[in-house]
Amino acid sequence: MALNPMEQFEVKPVSWAQHPLFHIGHSPIYFTNQALWMIVVFVSLSLFLTLAVSKGRVVPTRMQSLAELSYEFVGGMIDMTSGPAGFRFFPLIFTIFMFILFCNGFGLLPIAFTVTSQIAITFFLTAVVILTAIVTGFVKHGFGFLKLFVIKAPVVIMVPMVLLEFISFCARPISLSMRLFANMLAGHTMLKVMAGFVISLGAAGGAYTLLAAAPEALIVGLTALEFLVAFLQAYVFAILSCIYLSEALHLHDNH
C-alpha cells in the first residue's frame, strides 16, 4: 500500500486527450488536468456571478445575496486598506479573490485537481499584483515612488532600514506565492497521508481494522479545517494584494 501522497499534484495530460494540441517550437503543448480544472473554475465562476445577478431583484434570492455578499466583502476590504482611491483596483482584487476561492474550493472535491497547488499559477497571480503595484507607483509618483524605501529617521538608522525595506520588497513576490502554494500543498498532502493510514490499517485485518476509524474521523475534521484554510488563504492573498497596491498609491502617507 505504498501510495504516494504527492501523486495528486502531478500535472499530466487528461486521459481523453493524450496527443499534444500543438507545438511551440519543439515543446509539445498538452491539454492537462490543470487546464481542465481551470476551465471548470472559470465556467462555474462566470455562471454563478452572471446567473446570480441577471434578474437583479430588490429582495435578493439566496444566490443573489451570495454574490452581493462577496462583492461587499471585497469592497469593504479595499475600503479598509486603501480608502476610496483603491476602488480602481476593485476588478483586479475581486477577480483574484474569487478565482483563488473557487480554485481552493474545487480542489477539495475528492476527484479534483487543486490548481492553486502549482507554484506556476500562484506565482503568475502574484506577478500580476506586484507588477500592477510597481507600474501604479511609478505612474502616480514618478521616481518619488522610491521614497517607499525611505523612512524619516537619523542617517545611522535610515541606511540599514532602506536596505531592509528593499529586501522585504523583493521578498514579497516569493512570500505571496509561496504562502498560497505551500498551504494548499501541505493541506492536501496531509489528507492523503491520513487516507493512507486508513487503507493500511483496514488491510491489516483483525483488531486493526477497527482502529482504522480513528484516522477516518481525523480526516473528516481535517477536511473541515481545509475548508477554513481554503477561504482564509484567498482572504489573506486578497488583503495583502490590497496592502501592496495601497502602498503604491499612498506611499507611507495615511489616507
Partner 1 sequence: MDVQAAKQIGAGLATIAFVGSGIGIGVVFGNYISGALRNPGAASTQFTNLYIGYALCELQGLFGLLIALILLFT
Which 73-132 positions form the footprint of partner 1 (CB under 8 A)?
Answer: 77, 80-81
| Window of 48-56, 83-91, 214-222, 235-243 that interacts with partner 1 by CB under 8 A | 235-243
**Closer residue to partner 1 (CB): 185 or 201:** 185
Instruction: Choose, by CB under 8 A, the member of 85, 146, 235, 251 that binds partner 1.
Output: 235
DSSP 24: E
- Closest separation between CB of residue 200 and partner 1, Å? 22
User: Can you name the residues that pair with 28 across neighbouring β-strands?
Assistant: 23
DSSP secondary structure string for all residues of 102-151: HHHHHHTSTT---GGGSHHHHHHHHHHHHHHHHHHHHHHHGGGGGGGG--
Q: Which contiguous run of DSSP H or E holds residue 248?
A: helix 213-250
Residue nearer to partner 1 on the CB measure, 112 or 236: 236
- Closer to partner 1 at the Cβ: 194 or 198? 194
The values of phi and psi at residue 138, to 5°, are -70, -35
- The β-bridge relationship of strands 27-29 and 22-24 is antiparallel
| One residue of 186, 204, 213, 225 binding partner 1 per CB under 8 A | 186
Q: Which of 106/181 has CB closer to partner 1?
A: 181
Query: Which residues ranging from 195 to 234 are in contact with partner 1 (CB under 8 A)?
Result: 232
In the bound state with partner 1, the residue whose beta carbon lies nearer, of 9 and 48, is 9
The CB-of-80 to partner 1 minimum distance in angstroms stands at 6
Stretch that binds partner 1, among 11-19, 35-43, 89-97, 238-246 (CB under 8 A): 238-246
CA-based end-to-end distance of the chain: 58
Q: Cα Rg for the chain, rounded, in angstroms?
A: 22
- Beta carbon nearer to partner 1, 136 or 177: 177
Instruction: List, in order, residues 6 or more apart from 125 with CB less than 8 Å away.
Output: 96, 99, 100, 177, 180, 237
Q: How far is CA 32 from the centre of its chain?
A: 20
* φ, ψ at 13 (rounded to 5°): -60, 145
**Contact residue for partner 1 among 85, 92, 243, 251 (CB under 8 A):** 243
Residue 93 identity (one-letter amino acid): I
CA distances from 212 to 5, 192, 224 (A): 18, 14, 19
Is 240 near partner 1 (CB under 8 A)? yes
Contact with partner 1 (CB under 8 A): which of 182, 212, 218, 222? Answer: 182
Dmax of the chain from CA atoms? Answer: 73
Residue 179 CB, shortest distance to partner 1, in Å, is 6
Contacts to partner 1 from residues 152-181, by CB under 8 A:
175, 178-179
128: cell is 500580476
CB 70 to partner 1: min, Å: 17
Residues that bind partner 1 (CB under 8 A): 77, 80-81, 175, 178-179, 182-183, 186, 232, 235-236, 239-240, 243
